[in-house]
Each structure stands twice: as C-alpha cells, then as structure tokens.
Amino acid sequence: MTETQPPILRVENATAGYGGDPVLIDATLDIQRRDRVALIGPNGSGKSTLLRVMARLLKPVAGRVHLDDQPIARFNRRELARKVAFMPQSPGCPPGVTVRELVGYGRSPHIAWSRRFGPQDRTAIDRSLDLCDLTALQHREVESLSGGERQRAWLAMTVAQEADVLLLDEPVSALDIGHQLEVLGLLEDLNREHGTTIVTVLHDINLAARCFTSLVGLKDHRIIAKGRMTELLHPTTLRLVFGVQTEIITRPGIHHPICVY
C-alpha cells in the first residue's frame, strides 16, 4: 500500500478577522502538494483572508494552520519565506526602486544580510524577469510602469523567491487577456516543471477552469465547496457560491469546459 503524503498546507477550523466580526469562519482546507487551486466567491466572502491565514500574515482567533505537517508558527521568518511566497492584491513599492531591484527582493530568504547576490541569485532574478516578460523593462522604476507591468513585476519578485507554495491574491486582475493567459501559463509551468504548489484568488471562472485543477468556493465567510475542478465546475456549485444561473459547455477540441452566464 502506498503511503499518502500529508498536505503541504492544512487549515483546520480557522476563524479570523481584523478586530470586528470574523471575516473567515471555521475554515478547514487541505492544499495538496503540486496542486493548482483557485479560490472563488463573491467580494467579501473571505478569500483574501483565507490566503493571508495560510501565509501566516493573519493569525486566526481559533483553529490552526500546518505547513509540511508542522504547526506553521514553528517556522522562523526566513524558513517560512523559503517555503511560502505571498503576493497581495495591490502591493506598494517605495519610490525609485527599479524592476530588477524589486525582483531581487525575492531573493532575501536565500541570502544572509551581509552577503551580496551570488551567481544563483542573479540567475533566479534573470529567469524571473524573462518568464514575466520584463527583461526589457528591468532598469525602469516600478512607479513608472503601467498597472499591468507593475503586476508582472510583483509576480516576478514572488517567482524569484523560489518558494514551494505561491499564494497569489488576484494576480491577473490588472492585466489584459493576453497577459492574463501568459501569467497563468507561467504558473502552470512552475507547477508542472518545478512542482510549485499554486493557490490563487480568481474572479474569472473560465480562467479558473482553463488553468487550475482544484476549486474552493467561499460564501458568507465560509468555505462551502471544495474539490477537483472536474467535479465542482457545475451549475449547482456556481449557483450555490454566486447565486446565479450558469451553463457549462464542453466542445470537441477545447480541453476545458466553458462557463456561460
């Protein structure tokens, strides 16, 4: 009998908020290694809060989180940053920072404070710039970029961190459809070629169906659906999560279902 691996991230009965009423209530979720997970749900349903709990940026008032089968609190900040990278929805950047400098910040968990970048760090930075189509812009100041370019710069920094898990809060929200597909294709490549586990908040159901293998639906601050994309991408699930009627269409030659609403 093959021994089942524990999930890389486990959230158990977590309740969390920001000082008032809870924004996430009694959430239980396993994130399996090498999975690509899309978090969906209405605005204010708790998606970003769940992501921040998994990143240890928000401590739950009840429940617990495990990383690699250990309490996440046991990891020091550098250890945690080598394992989990988080990209917020609307990150800010200090004035005067270039794209290359920003991407270089992603290497912080891998170098001592007194060290300069080594060959491995420079290779990781160059690779991340190339993957995110930013090599030509690497010497531009981040604040001079368009919204979509800034989004890709922050993604490149997250990729350069070379963490086992990427937690991304709406990483394609500021991008045109071409760059949306490029970024999600990059995440697929990282997952397939390097085994990186991806957890992403998304609003576009069709992008989720195209690029992700698991689905988690939240509504009214609770997880109400979770499982494989092939099982959950169904009108019943989407009506439960969003309260709208949809139709799921499959066509020959198209490798993912299409949601019409």
Q: How confident is the model at residue 259 (pLDDT cuts 50, 70, 90)?
A: confident
The residue-averaged pLDDT of 73-101 equals 92
* pLDDT tens by residue, 25-55: 999 999 999 999 999 999 999 999 999 999 9
- Predicted pLDDT at 114: 56
Q: How many residues does the chain have?
A: 261
Residue 226 lies in a domain: yes
- Predicted pLDDT at 256: 81
With a cut of 60, say whether residue 2 has pLDDT above it. Answer: no
How many domains are contained in the chain?
A: 1
With a cut of 70, say whether residue 113 has pLDDT above it. Answer: no
First to last CA, the chain: 44
Give the SS3 label for residue 214. Answer: strand
For the beta carbon of residue 252, count every other beta carbon within 10 angstroms.
4
Residue 81 lies in a domain: yes
**Per-residue tokens: 216:** 């988690």
Nearest to 197 by CA among 169, 168, 225: 168
**Per-residue tokens: 138:** 């690497």
Q: How confident is the model at residue 253 (pLDDT cuts 50, 70, 90)?
A: confident
With a cut of 70, say whether residue 203 has pLDDT above it. Answer: yes
Q: How confident is the model at residue 117 (pLDDT cuts 50, 70, 90)?
A: confident
Q: What is the residue range of 152's domain?
A: 9-260
* pLDDT tens by residue, 127-184: 999 988 899 999 999 999 988 888 889 999 999 999 999 999 999 887 888 888 888 9
Percent of the chain's residues with pLDDT above 70: 97
Residue 3 lies in a domain: no
Residues 6+ positions from 61 with CB-CB distance below 8 Å: 15, 16, 17, 22
Residue 56 lies in a domain: yes
Residue 37 lies in a domain: yes
Tell me the pLDDT of the chain averaged across its residues.
92
Residue 2 lies in a domain: no
Q: How confident is the model at residue 1 (pLDDT cuts 50, 70, 90)?
A: very low
pTM equals: 0.92
Residue 204 lies in a domain: yes
Residue 69 lies in a domain: yes
* pLDDT tens by residue, 211-239: 999 999 999 999 999 999 989 999 999 99
- The enclosing domain of 193 has a CATH number of 3.40.50.300
What's the CA gap between 194 and 39, in Å, rounded? 22
What's the CA gap between 226 and 206, in Å, rounded? 17
